[in-house]
């Protein structure tokens, strides 16, 4: 069984709803979740927040957080996940923000750095993904890590 199918089963079993807040994954998580027949029972929607302006206006990430920690940070994805749950009225959310590449990296945050948050009600877990597997590889790895984290939260 695929991870997105398992997540769908868990969400239906627990009568929970899901939203996504994606930056570097560009909607790939939402696309996988909605590839499962019947996903409209638990998936409310997603926000692709590529710019900081969208992170702030739609997901309520604070300007202070972005200024102090940057868009690619534990703090930002935590606020993105909370913002998605609030804006889309869901019990759970996943959020991603990272440097997919090939450019944009810094010594502190090299290409391949992605922060992921999975939120279930008041519990939020975060993970820093490192290692450059090329743009597509970085995105696909982040999608799989986000789905695994969400699955663990729901168990």
Between CA 10 and CA 42 the distance in angstroms is 10
Overall domain count for the chain: 1
Between CA 34 and CA 13 the distance in angstroms is 17
Which pLDDT value is given to residue 58?
97
Q: What percent of the chain has pLDDT over 90?
A: 98
Report the CATH number at residue 145.
Answer: 3.90.950.20
- Residues 51-62 have a mean pLDDT of 98
Between CA 48 and CA 53 the distance in angstroms is 12
Between CA 17 and CA 112 the distance in angstroms is 30
| Region for residue 16 given its phi and psi (left: phi exceeds 0; alpha: psi -120 to 50; beta: otherwise) | beta
pTM beyond cutoff 0.75:
yes
Q: Provide the domain limits for residue 47.
A: 3-154
Confidence of residue 12 (pLDDT cuts 50, 70, 90): very high
Which pLDDT value is given to residue 96?
98
Which pLDDT value is given to residue 124?
97
Between CA 47 and CA 65 the distance in angstroms is 19
Cβ(29)–Cβ(96) under 8 Å?
yes
């Amino acid at each position: 069984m695929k991870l997105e199918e398992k997540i769908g089963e868990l969400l239906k079993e627990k009568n929970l709803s899901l939203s996504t807040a994606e930056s570097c994954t560009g909607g790939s998580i939402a696309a996988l979740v909605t590839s499962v027949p019947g996903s409209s029972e638990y998936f409310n929607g997603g926000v692709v927040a590529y710019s900081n302006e969208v992170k702030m206006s739609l997901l309520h990430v604070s300007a202070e957080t972005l200024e102090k920690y940057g868009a690619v940070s534990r703090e930002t994805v935590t606020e993105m996940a909370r913002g998605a749950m609030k804006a889309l009225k869901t019990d759970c959310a996943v959020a991603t923000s990272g440097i997919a590449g090939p450019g944009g990296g810094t010594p502190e945050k090299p290409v391949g750095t992605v922060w992921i948050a999975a939120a279930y009600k008041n519990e939020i877990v975060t993970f820093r993904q490192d290692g450059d597997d090329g743009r597509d590889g970085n995105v696909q790895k982040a999608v799989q890590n986000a789905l695994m984290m969400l699955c663990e939260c729901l168990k």
